[in-house]
Amino acid sequence: MAALRILILCLFAISAVYAHNITEILSDYPEYSQFNSYLSQTKLADEINVRQTITVLVLNNAAMDDLTSKHSLSVVKNELSLHILLDYYDPKKLHSVSKGTTLTTTLYQTTGNAPGNLGFVNITDLKGGAVGFGSAEPGSKLDSTYVKSVKQIPYNISVLEISKPITAQSILTAKSSNVNVTALLEKAGCKTFAALIVSSGVLKVYESQIDKGLTIFAPNDEAFKAKGVPDLSKLSNAELVSLLQYHALNSYTSKGSLKTTKDSISTLATSGAGKYDLTATSSGDEVVLHTGVDDSRISGVVLDSTPLVIFTVDNVLLPKELFGKSPSPAPAPAPESETPSPAPISTPIPAPASEAPAPITSSPPSPATETPESSPADAPAVKSENSSSDNTAGVVEAPALLKSLPLVSIVTALVFLS
C-alpha cells in the first residue's frame, strides 16, 4: 500500500506540471510580450509551470527594456527569478500582509547562489493603498510598486504587474563566469575548429558576444576531413572570418528553439537581409541545419548554459555566399561527396523515424557526449543531447507516456489493482 500511495503522489506531482502555462497566460497581453519572451528564453517559464503555488510579478515592455538593454542574459535571468514568488499573492493578500511588511521567498533562492537575504523580496504595504516591492538585500530600495492584477487562478498562480524591476545590487554586478570556449571545443573533438577561430581572431568576436547571448555550431574534426569540403586554405582571410562567423548566432538559441524556428536564422556573418543565413528543420529530437549548399545535423550539445550554447555539428556549414553560385540548394562549386564519408550528410527527414523520438543510433557517436566525467573543474560538464539543459532546480520532466495518459484512468487502474 505504501508503494501505491507513493505512485499516486507521483501522479499528482505529474499532473501539477500542467497546472498552468505562463507562456499561454501572458500571450493574451502584448504589453508583456518582452517579459514573456525572456521567460521562455531563460527557461524560467518551465520553472513557473511546474510549481503549484506561485506569483509572477510582470513588467511591461518599457520596464523590461530598461533591464535588458543594460544587462547580460544571465543577469536578466537572475533578476527575473526575483520576480517569481514561491507563494500566492492576490491583490487582497498584498494589502493585508501582517504588520504591513513581509519577506517572501523567490525562485532565485532555489538556485543555491543566494547568500543572506538575496533570494527574498520585501513586500510592504505603503501608506495610501500603495504596495512597494524591493529586494531584501540590505541597502536595496523599495521603489517598485503594485500596478494592477493581470490574472489569478486562485491559490495556484497569480500574475501581477509592478512598475519597475526589483533589483539586487549583487546580482547586477555579478561577474559572468568565464568559460574557456577553445578548451571546451577541443575536449568535444573540435580541435580544427578551435584552432581556426583562434588563428583568425574570430574567438574574440565570439567572446565579446557571450554576455548578450551566443550559439556556436562547431563542426567536429571529421567534418573538416570529409570529402567535398572545399580547401579552406584557398579562402582569403576575410572569407575565412565570414565562414567562421557563419557558425555562430548572436543569441542564446537552445535546441528547443531551433526546433520551433521556421524563419531563416541570421548568423554572426549576416550583414544584410537574407545574407549568410541558415534554416533549421527537425524530426523527433534531431535538428538539421541547411545552408542552401549543404546540410548538417546537430550531433551533440557541448554546453547549454544561459547565455551560451555550444553544439557540435557533423558537417562544415557552407554558406551559399562563398560556396554556391545561386541561392538554389543545388550544390555548385562545393559538391557533396557521393562516397560515404566518416560524417555522413543527414537528410532532414529519416524515413521511418516518425515514431522514434531520437533516431541517433545510425550515426557516429558524438564526441561531445563521450567523456562527461573528465571535464575540467572550471568547465561545465558536457551534457548529453536530451538532458535537461540548465542548472536551475525544480524542473520535473514527466515521461512522455504518462503525459499522454489521463490521470483519472491511471488512478482508477491502481485502486482496482490494489
Ligand X SMILES: *[C@@H]1O[C@H](CO)[C@@H](O)[C@H](O)[C@H]1NC(C)=O
**Region from 13-21, 104-112, 211-219, 402-410 binding ligand X, contact rule CB under 6 A:** 13-21
Rule CB under 6 A: choose which of 176, 177, 180, 208 binds ligand X: 180
Q: Which region, left, alpha or beta, applies to residue 224 given φ > 0 means left and ψ of -120 to 50 means alpha?
A: alpha
Q: Of 293 and 298, which has the nearer Cβ to ligand X?
A: 298
CB of 156 to ligand X, least distance (A): 4
Site for ligand X in 92-111 (CB under 6 A): 101-103
Site for ligand X in 114-153 (CB under 6 A): 122, 124, 142, 153
Q: Of 23 and 336, which has the nearer Cβ to ligand X?
A: 23
406 binding ligand X? (CB under 6 A): no
384 binding ligand X? (CB under 6 A): yes
Rule CB under 6 A: choose which of 8, 147, 172, 183 binds ligand X: 183
Q: Of 24 and 65, which has the nearer Cβ to ligand X?
A: 24
Q: Of 7 and 332, which has the nearer Cβ to ligand X?
A: 7
Task: Match 531520437 to its residue by C-alpha cell.
Answer: 358
Rule CB under 6 A: choose which of 52, 169, 170, 261 binds ligand X: 52
Q: Of 79 and 286, which has the nearer Cβ to ligand X?
A: 286
CB of 117 to ligand X, least distance (A): 8
CB of 209 to ligand X, least distance (A): 16
Rule CB under 6 A: choose which of 19, 398, 410, 411 binds ligand X: 19
CB of 418 to ligand X, least distance (A): 23
Residues in Cβ contact with 14 at an 8 Å cutoff, skipping those fewer than 6 apart: 396, 398, 402, 403, 407
Q: Of 161 and 286, which has the nearer Cβ to ligand X?
A: 286
CB of 153 to ligand X, least distance (A): 5
Rule CB under 6 A: choose which of 152, 156, 282, 305 binds ligand X: 156
| SS3 annotation, the chain | CHHHHHHHHHHHHHHHHCCCCHHHHHCCCHHHHHHHHHHHHCCHHHHHHCCCCEEEEECCHHHHHHHHCCCCHHHHHHHHHCCEECCCCCHHHHCCCHHHEEEEEEHHHHHCCCCCCCCEEEEEECHHHCEEEEECCCCCCCCEEEEEEEEEECCCEEEEEECCCCCCHHHHCCCCCCCCHHHHHHHCCCHHHHHHHHHHCHHHHHHHHHCCCEEEEEECHHHHHCCCCCCHHHCCHHHHHHHHHCCEECCCCCHHHHHHCCCCEECCCCCCCCCCEEEEEEECCEEEEECCCCEEEEEEEEEEECCEEEEEECCCCCCHHHHCCCCCCCCCCCCCCCCCCCCCCCCCCCCCCCCCCCCCCCCCCCHHHCCHHHCCCCCCCCECCCCCCCCCCCCCCCCHHHHHCCHHHHHHHHHHHC
Q: How many residues bind ligand X, per CB under 6 A?
A: 26
CB of 126 to ligand X, least distance (A): 9
Q: Of 82 and 269, which has the nearer Cβ to ligand X?
A: 82
CB of 306 to ligand X, least distance (A): 19
Site for ligand X in 340-359 (CB under 6 A): 358
Site for ligand X in 210-249 (CB under 6 A): none
Question: What residues line the site for ligand X (CB under 6 A)?
Answer: 15-16, 19, 21, 23-24, 27, 49, 52, 101-103, 122, 124, 142, 153-154, 156, 180, 182-183, 186, 358, 360, 384, 386
